[in-house]
Amino acid sequence: MKTKYDVCVIGSGAGGGAVAYELSRAGFNVAVLEKGKWFKEANFSKDELAVSKREIYSPNLKDEYHIIHVKEDGRYVRYDGREYSWSFWNGCIVGGASNFMSGYFHRLKPKDFRLRSIYGEIEGANIADWPISYEEMEPYYVKVEQVVGVSGKVKRHSFLEPRSTSEFPMPPLHENGVTQWFDMACNKLGYEYIQTPRAILSKDRKKRASCYYSNFCGSYPCSSAAKGSARAALLQPNGIKVITEAFVYNLESDAKRIKTAHYYDKNGLSHKIEAKIFVLAATPIESCRLLLNSKNTYFPHGLSNNTRQVGKNLIFSAGGSGSGTFKRLKLSKESFATLIQPGVFFNRSIQQWYEYEKEGKKYKGGTVDFLFEHANIIPRVKRQIWDEDGGIRWGRSLQKAIEEHVPNERRLNFEVFNDWLSTDGTFVSVDEKAKDKWGIPVASIYLDPHTHDLEVGEFLAKKAINVLHRMGAENIQSDISASPPSNLVAGGCRFGDDPKSSVLDRNCRSWEVENLYVSDASFMPTGGSVPYTWSIYANAFRVADGIKKVLTGDSMKNLNF
């Protein structure tokens, strides 16, 4: 097998897939090392038990786990992920987490790139501006729309970001008629709403089929290739060498360059890849873990970590969720029939409070996305196990509750996205005593969120609750929490203009290792108030353009084998 390449990409999700796609199309020899397996559309089923209970697309926690430390009453409490079934894995297969996203695609706004300059410092938070501007990223947002595929309708609203194109490449997906109830409620409240852009094909495109409205989207891989995963959109046969079930455990380097990536195959045998350029895109936690475990004489604290910045400023998406229920008994026959239309989406979002004012001061707000409860019946049935007093139902009592509730009501959920402010207390390191099945120290995650995150989340949740009330929903509830989501992780290898406070330069190249780039969400100083995936894709295409210049320029002479 060939072991020398122009570029070695570690990880095949949104950050790795876009780089591999772009560089292979430019004629470079690219190898992708992916820890998981390669599944095809034919392998994806809507097996509810497999996804809900067995987590067939994530590592077995007995073999691979995380140590998690949560700040409680001023001190960290240690949790072993194996004991608490708690981890930050989010899909270890070709295409990574992009296979399991819901595909809510919102761009960052210009203000997201200048959070510190616009809103000022907040005590206890490490807020930093991006070293690049929205204007520099905008062409790459467009590229993602065209290459990965985004459907929707652009609507003019108060926080619409500047666009160089007037519309998305594809029309919106089919929607449930209940969206009309939502639109009327917002109009009465004076709220601006938009159709949620989705990275899901509404029309057939090349070898990818359009959405067939199976009713199973978020948390499930797509069996039609309509969802814009890196696997479906970027990594289909195109000259890229994808090596699966390859766990990279060490990056061997001298004082300036990585020479070799060492990885274990599924049988535990060690192999190596040499390359001129190495691109790390294994998810923020795992990318930091690999760098921290790649110690040597030149980098005693971990690769590219002589300034001790790797793993710092880890962030997540702050916010939470809520819901309201619509019941058959309170609706006409026609209205209930509309409510239970299978498959079609509820694509509505509110960004009216992406910035808001309180007591004469402006604050960064966020986004609220509205969506139907997932079609998976298991969590809907599990809710009926407990009665109104908190007791457990079983037997005929449980059966009656299931028959009464499950087919006769439907839940409309909302998800709040606002900035998780980076702090000194939230970071990732490695635990030298806790090791995975390969004997490699596992990631040790420390969590100490800023109280400001909750305040903003609660503000946005109240607006969402107003909409549900106006729509006539019952049993309305919300949960704005400091608990981080496992699928929205960023930071750890912050990019910036100062080598003393960042790991990467503006091109996402390591300050300390000249042939190392990081293209997953690790680069983000702030996450914005939207899901990250579109921005990860866009930045990865931007990074690929920078690498092309290096590979074709004078600096190539320093990167020969």
Res 548 pLDDT > 90: yes
Query: Scanning the structure block, which residue is given the tokens 């390859």?
Result: 246
CA–chain centroid gap for 194, Å, is 21
Strand runs labelled E in 34-136: 67-72, 75-80
Q: Could you tell me whether strands 409-419 and 366-372 are parallel, antiparallel, or unpaired per DSSP bridges?
A: antiparallel
pLDDT at 560: 59
Query: pLDDT for 426-461, tens place per residue?
Result: 999 999 999 999 999 999 999 999 999 999 999 999
Percent with pLDDT over 70 in the chain: 97
**Confidence at 559, pLDDT banded by 50, 70, 90:** low
Classified as helix, coil or strand, 292 is helix
Q: Which residues of 34-48 are buried (b: 16+ CB within 10 A; e: fewer)?
A: bbbebbeeeebeeeb
State the average pLDDT over residues 548-558. 75
Residue 401 to residue 422: CA distance in whole angstroms: 44
CA–chain centroid gap for 343, Å, is 23
Res 558 pLDDT > 60: no
Query: pLDDT for 345-385, tens place per residue?
Result: 999 999 999 999 998 899 999 999 999 998 888 888 888 99
CA–chain centroid gap for 548, Å, is 26
pLDDT at 469: 98
Give residue 236's domain range: 4-558
- Provide CB contacts within 8 A for 269, sequence distance 6+: none
pLDDT at 429: 98
User: Domains in the chain: how many in total?
Assistant: 1
pLDDT at 54: 57
Res 257 pLDDT > 80: yes
The CA-to-CA distance between both ends of the chain, in Å, stands at 17
Q: What is the CATH number of the domain that holds 468?
A: 3.50.50.60
Question: Which candidate, 429, 432, 433, places its Cα nearest to that of 443?
Answer: 429
Res 239 pLDDT > 80: no
Query: pLDDT for 194-204, tens place per residue?
Result: 999 999 999 99
**Which amino acid is it at 481?**
S
pTM over 0.75: yes
Res 17 pLDDT > 90: yes
Beta-bridged to residue 10, according to DSSP, are 33, 280
pLDDT at 314: 98
pLDDT at 46: 79
DSSP states along 424-482? TT-EEEEEEEEE-TTSPEEEEEEE---HHHHHHHHHHHHHHHHHHHHHT-EEEEEEEES
pLDDT at 135: 98
Res 2 pLDDT > 70: no
If one counts every other C-beta atom within 10 angstroms of the C-beta of residue 504, the result is 25
pLDDT at 363: 94
Question: 276 and 561 in contact (C-beta within 8 Å)?
Answer: yes
Q: Which of 8-22, 117-131, 228-242 has the lowest mean pLDDT?
A: 228-242
Query: pLDDT for 139-154, tens place per residue?
Result: 999 999 999 999 999 9
**Which amino acid is it at 482?**
A
Q: Which two tokens stand for residue 454?
A: 């909750």
pLDDT at 94: 96
Q: Which two tokens stand for residue 494?
A: 């912050």
Query: Scanning the structure block, which residue is given the tokens 């006769």?
Result: 408
pLDDT at 471: 97
Question: 231 and 184 in contact (C-beta within 8 Å)?
Answer: no
Query: pLDDT for 408-434, tens place per residue?
Result: 999 999 999 999 999 999 999 999 999
Residue 255 to residue 248: CA distance in whole angstroms: 20
Q: Could you tell me whether strands 315-327 and 409-419 are parallel, antiparallel, or unpaired per DSSP bridges?
A: antiparallel
State the average pLDDT over residues 331-350. 95
Residue 232 to residue 236: CA distance in whole angstroms: 6
Beta-bridged to residue 412, according to DSSP, are 324, 372
Residue 34 to residue 367: CA distance in whole angstroms: 33
pLDDT at 207: 87
Question: Which candidate, 209, 261, 317, places its Cα nearest to that of 535?
Answer: 317
Residue 460 to residue 416: CA distance in whole angstroms: 7
Question: 221 and 99 in contact (C-beta within 8 Å)?
Answer: yes
Q: On the CB side of 259, how many CA atoms lie within 13 Å of its CA? A: 5
Query: pLDDT for 177-220, tens place per residue?
Result: 999 999 999 999 999 999 999 999 999 998 899 999 988 888 88
Res 561 pLDDT > 60: no
Q: Which two tokens stand for residue 271?
A: 């192999």
pLDDT at 338: 96
**Confidence at 269, pLDDT banded by 50, 70, 90:** very high
Question: 399 and 415 in contact (C-beta within 8 Å)?
Answer: no
Q: Which two tokens stand for residue 51?
A: 């996804």
Percent with pLDDT over 90 in the chain: 86
Classified as helix, coil or strand, 437 is coil
Question: 311 and 428 in contact (C-beta within 8 Å)?
Answer: yes
- Which helix (H) or strand (E) segment is 402 a member of? helix 395-405
Over the chain, what is the mean pLDDT? Answer: 94
pLDDT at 380: 86
pLDDT at 308: 97
pLDDT at 90: 87
Return phi, psi of residue 541, to 5°: -65, -35
Beta-bridged to residue 319, according to DSSP, are 417, 481
Query: Scanning the structure block, which residue is given the tokens 């949960």?
Result: 479
